[in-house]
Structure 1
Amino acid sequence: MDERTVKHRLPYPYDQDLSGVLRRLNRRTPASRDRLANDPVTAAYLAAGMRLIGRHLGPCAVRTSADPEDVNAIDRPLLAFLSQRAVVAEVGTNPDPFPRMGSVSTLRSTWGCHSDFISDLLRFGLWSSHPSHCDAAEAADILERLLEGPDYVEALHRLGFWNILTLVDRPRFRLELFVTAAAEGDEVIQKAMAENFREIKEPWTEICEDLMRARGLRLRPGLTIDEFVDLISAMMEGTALRALADPRAGVIDRAAQRTLAGTGLLALIRGCVVRDDRSDDRSLEEAVHAMVYDLPASLYEAAY
């Protein structure tokens, strides 16, 4: 079967053009690298690596006992589960229509060294078009409620609940945490992470602007939309990290469809956002100072 036919039969996102994603392929010319990036055999190694990541990083990660008499004694292999031999063996279990024939020599021919494969695999895993990405399209009904629904507060709680579940119930966030820890001193990974955050942030920045405009809201003076979206992202990921580290902490209430992230969204909006048609032009610092000391903004300005 023609390679192009196999490529088009692959599931999303393996059927997409990966020439802009895979940067460490072992070819000299741009044309040959582009061809290799879209070769079904390359996709076979990526698919195997992604399954290994999901299996070992979670959710529902497979844990191997290191001591049958101690339930807490488990192997913690870090990236050892992505060894060349492990990846090649996993290629043999690929589902149709991925190729199932793999070898260490072919893997080394595709990527000059194993660190290059790891870098491209992590880049692919963090790629914003990957299905595990928190795609705003998945929350279209919630965003519609935020735009013009009758219960804005309930819609915010639903958004927080959806966002946290997309983080804790999918392997991508675990991969992101792992890569973040490994990024220091590694410019390749740092660049991949920077691109990842930028591609996630851009659509949500536009969404936040539209949502505020639709409700007649604006940010307090001194705050930019980029800073506001960064605050939301930090709060969401921090909440998800807390939920992963201690599932019994009560951060997520699946029965009630509530999370601490919903409360955090309410707090951020209450502190950072004001009505556009009112005269509250205080900065966040001025508003907090006035709240604590019960002083009007004019006295605050005179003091500073």
Structure 2
Amino acid sequence: MKNRDDSDAPDDRHEPRTHRRKRDLPFPYNQDLSGILPHLNRRTVWGRARLANHRVTASLLAAGMRLLEQHFGPCAERPVTSKSLLLGPLSQRSVAEAFGHNPAPFDRHGDGAGLLRDRWTPYSNFVVDLINFAVWKENYRPEFRTHRDANTRRLVHGCDGRDFVRAVHDIAHRHTTEGMDLPSVRLGLALMTVADADEEIARITSGIYAAYLGSWKELYAAVLRERGLRLRPGLTLDDLADALSAANDGVTLRALGDPASGVVDDARRRSLTGTITLAVIHAFLEPADEASGLSLEQAVATRFGGRARSSAGQ
């Protein structure tokens, strides 16, 4: 029977209080996970929410996250190679073994494989929920929001154009290098290559971008408003966000796959992401009070057409 009755949900009332309090787990495992784990093996919303916020469930996720770090992190102990399957490191046996070696205060007692089967049937549902958890915004570095606020102040209220350019380069370099170091980002980039063959992975990928780009679009809108800029006709804020996101993804992949390429320069705190960002800003945006009214295509055609006529007249 795939979905257990909610009356069979784990009962931890008789366990030592010091061992059963989920709020004693580190952030973000101590947070409400009911909206992050939709595939738990319970019939009702109440049953799934209760199981999502059980400390054993959080401990199983912690085991899976350690495996992600070991196999997908920048200093992976056992990196995924051409000889191993992409998600091979997340087999039920591997997660169950990792659960048994959980550090305190996570739970590590009991039959890990049995606990997994109780919560996720089929096991692939655990992998999907683990990916959901891994790419959850609360799993990004704690200083992320602080950096975002500082970036907003620099881009929106910077003193002059030169400071704006420096801010773009600094932010782009930080964003790219942090992404390279996060196992969840590295896994997300790898999963994109198989998303078209897996509806669930495609849904997760789409959800990641919806949340990720939403916050960036708020920043871009503030920059346009406060800096007196406007998008060229035919372009939208979605186009701007997608273009800059694609640039960052591409540079991140290139830097990971070809470290000697030089697309990220840590010594100068520069990256190709910053250069592309400035190019997109220059091409997509115009001063609102001096707008030409030309679309991007018209502006490019005019520039090259003008050069051609000038050359012909010489």
Q: What's 2:119 paired with?
A: 110
SS at match of 2:196: coil
Whole-Å separation in 1 of the counterparts to 2:82 and 2:244: 35
Whole-Å separation in 2 of the counterparts to 1:15 and 1:48: 15
- Change in CA separation of 1:137 and 1:204 when aligned onto 2, cut-off 3 Å: farther
- Change in CA separation of 1:205 and 1:74 when aligned onto 2, cut-off 3 Å: closer
Q: Are 2:97 and 1:97 aligned?
A: no
After the TM superposition, which of the residue ranges 221-230 and 89-98 deviates more from structure 2? 89-98
Q: Which residue among 72, 79, 95 is the counterpart of 1:87? A: 95
Q: What's 1:53 paired with?
A: 68
Shift of 1:134: 9.8
2:59/2:108 contact within 8 Å kept: yes
2:251/2:272 contact within 8 Å kept: yes
Deviation digits for residues 118-174 of structure 1 (CA, Å, limit 9, x no counterpart):
111111112223225994542322321112223111111111111101211211221
Question: Please, what TM-score do these two structures have when normalized by structure 1?
Answer: 0.89
Question: Please, what TM-score do these two structures have when normalized by structure 2?
Answer: 0.86
Paired-residue identity, %:
41
Q: What's 2:247 paired with?
A: 235
Whole-Å separation in 2 of the counterparts to 1:5 and 1:104: 20
Whole-Å separation in 2 of the counterparts to 1:64 and 1:267: 35
Q: How does 1:126-205 map to 2 (within 5 A)?
A: 126-132=135-141, 135-150=144-159, 151-205=163-217
The alignment yields a C-alpha RMSD, in angstroms, of: 2.2
SS at match of 2:121: coil
Shift of 1:75: 4.7
SS at match of 1:78: coil
SS at match of 1:218: strand
1:126/1:193 contact within 8 Å kept: no
SS at match of 1:19: coil
Q: What's 1:286 paired with?
A: 298
Whole-Å separation in 1 of the counterparts to 2:155 and 2:169: 11
Find runs of 4+ consecutive structure 1 residues off by over 3 angstroms. 1-5, 132-137
Q: What's 1:29 paired with?
A: 44
1:63/1:75 contact within 8 Å kept: no
Whole-Å separation in 1 of the counterparts to 2:31 and 2:78: 33
SS at match of 2:187: helix
Deviation digits for residues 62-83 of structure 1 (CA, Å, limit 9, x no counterpart):
2479xxxxxxx98534222111
What residue ranges of structure 2 are gaps of 5+ in the alignment? 1-15, 308-314
Q: Are 2:129 and 1:120 aligned?
A: yes
- Change in CA separation of 1:174 and 1:145 when aligned onto 2, cut-off 3 Å: same
Whole-Å separation in 1 of the counterparts to 2:17 and 2:217: 42
2:71/2:79 contact within 8 Å kept: no
After the TM superposition, which of the residue ranges 112-121 and 180-189 deviates more from structure 2? 180-189
Instruction: Give the counterpart letter for 1:142 in structure 2.
Output: N
Whole-Å separation in 1 of the counterparts to 2:34 and 2:44: 12
* Number of equivalent positions: 288
Whole-Å separation in 1 of the counterparts to 2:83 and 2:109: 29
Whole-Å separation in 2 of the counterparts to 1:140 and 1:88: 40
Instruction: Give the counterpart letter for 1:9 in structure 2.
Output: D
1:139/1:162 contact within 8 Å kept: no
